[in-house]
Amino acid sequence: IENIKIDESIIKEFLKNSDSGRFFQKQKCNIKTDFTHTNLMDIGIILK
C-alpha cells in the first residue's frame, strides 16, 4: 500500500459535500461493489 499525501483542504471540501465516493475515485483507491440484492436503501430512508 502506497502512502499518498493529500492537501487537508481538499479532504475537507469532499467531506463538506458528503462526496467520499468521488474522493476515493480520484485517488484511485475506491472499492466498487456490485448489486447486493437487498433493500438497504429502504432502511436508510426509513432511518432518516
In the block, which residue shows the cell 465516493? 21
- Whether 39 shows a pLDDT value over 80: the answer reads no
pLDDT given at position 44:
52
User: Are residues 30 and 24 in contact, defined by beta-carbon separation less than 8 angstroms?
Assistant: yes
Q: How far apart are CA 32 and CA 25, in angstroms?
A: 9
The burial of 14, by beta-carbon neighbours within 10 Å (0-12 exposed, 13-18 middle, 19 or more buried), is given as middle
pLDDT tens for each residue of 1-36: 567 788 888 889 888 988 888 888 887 777 776 676
Question: Is residue 14 in a domain?
Answer: yes
Question: Is residue 2 in a domain?
Answer: no
Whole-model pTM: value is 0.47
Q: For residue 28, which of 1, 7, 8 has the smallest C-alpha distance?
A: 1
- Please report which confidence band the pLDDT of residue 42 belongs to, taking 50, 70 and 90 as the band edges: low
> What is the span of the domain harbouring residue 25?
8-47
pLDDT given at position 23:
84
Question: Is residue 22 in a domain?
Answer: yes
Domain count, the chain: 1
User: No. of H helices and E strands in the chain?
Assistant: 3, 0
